[in-house]
Amino acid sequence: MVHVGIIGLGWMGELHAHYLSQIDGCKVVACCDTDAKRAAEFAKKYGATPYTKYKDLLLDQDVNTVYIVTPQKYHYEIAMATMQAQKHMMCEKPLALTAEEINGLRKQAIGYTKKITINFPQRFSIATQEAMEEINNGALGDIQFMRCNFRFSMKKHAQTHGAWIFDKTQGGGLILESSVHMWDAVRYMTGREVESVCAVAHNNEKANFEDNFVCIANLQGGAIACVDMSGWLPENAATDKRFELIGSKGSIYLDEHRHYMAIQSEQKVQNNPGMYTDGLTYKDSLWHSSVAGGVMRFNENFVRCILKDIVPLIRLEDGARASEITWSITKSLKSGRMEKVIYGQ
Ligand SMILES: NC(=O)c1ccc[n+]([C@@H]2O[C@H](COP(=O)([O-])OP(=O)(O)OC[C@H]3O[C@@H](n4cnc5c(N)ncnc54)[C@H](O)[C@@H]3O)[C@@H](O)[C@H]2O)c1
């Protein structure tokens, strides 16, 4: 049985608990939040033991798997302690706030025998999985170009997440906090590492962080990518994520949240408004390609990896590299130049 202890019981902690508690072979047995009232309410809802100090949760012998869902300022400290306690570990993105922290976690994870994963739910959206099936079957040939557009409402974020999200010392800023999803998509879908980046951004003076940005990137093997993000959608707008991949044999256009995929290749030309997945309605496909659907499938997968002793699709190294790309973006914003991405130094 997978016995989960969740640390950080906010918006995302609740989402994980909701899905974990529905998975066969898995139970949420402990929970922790610095807000004692929140921990007690959560514990009552899920039949778990409440804690207000993560170190006490880690001493709970009934917990074999830890979910770290606090603001990222605490990820490093709690992830190090979780590995020292020898538990399976899920850490939310972004993995950590600095290169030193990332390297510390890498070092600690060498030879670690328990499972570790990072939550990039987009890899588990049906829309992405369908696209990956085509890519893995060679429909695009040698991928040379990828474009990612990510749009959302910062006003809505201000309601769903704590105030930490707009404080760079706690959240790392929007480029780290949100673009890691896009860099993970670039690495996963093209199968190529990001070598260098150059970015421009609009700085929100009041909040003191970048709220719109565009970044171009050189990938391994001469391929290129462009990632642009805007937090300026109105409050009532749905999150919008679109990808375009072009290779030597074809192209895919993917609108993740509307579950639309158009593929043009030597093998097929198809405009596919979500009818691709056997046995699912268009509405089902839309849900499975939303953040919640991705989180549900991510959790089903991680529980299966623990129970069947399988290496998780998303490893610590993926979380590390997505964050490391963003350090070079920040560097480029200061220098105005293309900056090399440095991994693991
Ligand atoms: N993978 C994704 O798609 C995704 C989406 C949203 C958020 N996240 C990540 O999930 C994490 C949490 O985000 P959220 O939106 O749930 O935030 P939130 O502000 O809603 O909740 C955070 C909770 O953590 C608690 N907390 C803070 N410090 C703590 C500590 N030291 N020990 C125990 N509890 C502590 C707070 O009291 C709060 O209840 C962040 O790292 C965020 O980046 C990931």
What pLDDT, in 10s, does the model give residues 166-209? 888 888 888 999 999 999 999 999 999 999 999 999 987 776 77
Q: Is 125 in the pocket of ligand 1 (CB under 6 A)?
A: no
Tokens representing 223 are 């391929």
Query: Which pLDDT does position 10 carry in this prediction?
Result: 96
- How much distance in Å is there from the Cα of 9 to the middle of ligand 1? 7
Give the number of other CB atoms < 10 A from CB of residue 61.
6
Residues 199, 329: contact at Cβ < 8 Å?
A: yes
Query: Which pLDDT does position 334 carry in this prediction?
Result: 95
State the average pLDDT over residues 302-328: 98
pLDDT category at 281 given cuts 50, 70, 90 is confident
Sign, CA dihedral 185-187-192-194, equals positive
Q: Is the pTM here over 0.95, yes or no?
A: yes
Residues 71, 97: contact at Cβ < 8 Å?
A: no
Residues 187, 193: contact at Cβ < 8 Å?
A: yes
- pLDDT reading at 285 higher than 80: yes
- pLDDT reading at 276 higher than 90: no
| CATH superfamily of domain region 122-289+320-340 | Dihydrodipicolinate Reductase; domain 2 (3.30.360.10)
Query: Which pLDDT does position 345 carry in this prediction?
Result: 67
Residues 74, 164: contact at Cβ < 8 Å?
A: no
**Which atom of ligand 1 is closest in space to residue 165's alpha carbon?**
19
Instruction: Pick the closest to residue 219 from 325, 317, 135 (CA basis).
Output: 325
Q: Identify which of 123, 150, 161 to mutate to test ligand 1's pocket (most ligand atoms within 8 A of the CB).
A: 161
Topology match between the domains 2-121+311-315 and 122-289+320-340? no
- pLDDT reading at 257 higher than 90: no
Per-residue pLDDT of 132-165, as tens digits, reads: 999 999 999 999 999 999 999 888 887 888 788 8
- How much distance in Å is there from the Cα of 114 to the middle of ligand 1? 23
- pLDDT reading at 266 higher than 90: no
Q: Identify which of 69, 180, 289 to mutate to test ligand 1's pocket (most ligand atoms within 8 A of the CB).
A: 69
Query: Which pLDDT does position 274 carry in this prediction?
Result: 62
The identity of residue 72, as a single letter, is Q
Query: Which pLDDT does position 258 carry in this prediction?
Result: 87
Tokens representing 90 are 């899920």
Choice between 123 and 289, residue whose per-residue pLDDT is larger: 123
Tokens representing 136 are 């893995």
Q: Is 9 in the pocket of ligand 1 (CB under 6 A)?
A: yes
For the chain, domain boundaries: 2-121+311-315, 122-289+320-340
Interatomic CA distance for residues 12 and 161, integer angstroms: 9
The identity of residue 188, as a single letter, is Y
Instruction: Pick the closest to residue 287 from 90, 118, 124 (CA basis).
Output: 124
- Burial code (b: 16+ CB inside 10 Å, e: under 16) for 269-281 equals eeebebebbeebe
Query: Which pLDDT does position 160 carry in this prediction?
Result: 81
Q: Identify which of 34, 37, 297 to mutate to test ligand 1's pocket (most ligand atoms within 8 A of the CB).
A: 34
Residues 79, 46: contact at Cβ < 8 Å?
A: no
Length of the chain counted residue by residue: 345
Quick check: helix, strand or coil at residue 167?
coil
Beta bridge partners of 232: 153
Strand pairing report for 209-219 and 194-204: antiparallel
| DSSP character at residue 237 | P
Q: Is 170 in the pocket of ligand 1 (CB under 6 A)?
A: no
State the average pLDDT over residues 1-22: 97
Q: Is 12 in the pocket of ligand 1 (CB under 6 A)?
A: yes
Query: Which pLDDT does position 161 carry in this prediction?
Result: 80
Interatomic CA distance for residues 77 and 279, integer angstroms: 44
Query: Which pLDDT does position 229 carry in this prediction?
Result: 95
**Fold annotation for 2-121+311-315:** Rossmann fold (3.40.50)
Tokens 């970044």 correspond to 215
- How much distance in Å is there from the Cα of 1 to the middle of ligand 1? 25
Query: Which pLDDT does position 199 carry in this prediction?
Result: 98
CA distances from 41 to 33, 82, 189, 318 (A): 11, 24, 40, 34
- How much distance in Å is there from the Cα of 37 to the middle of ligand 1? 16
Quick check: helix, strand or coil at residue 91?
strand
Per-residue pLDDT of 22-70, as tens digits, reads: 999 999 999 999 999 999 999 999 999 999 999 999 999 999 999 999 9
Query: Which pLDDT does position 273 carry in this prediction?
Result: 63
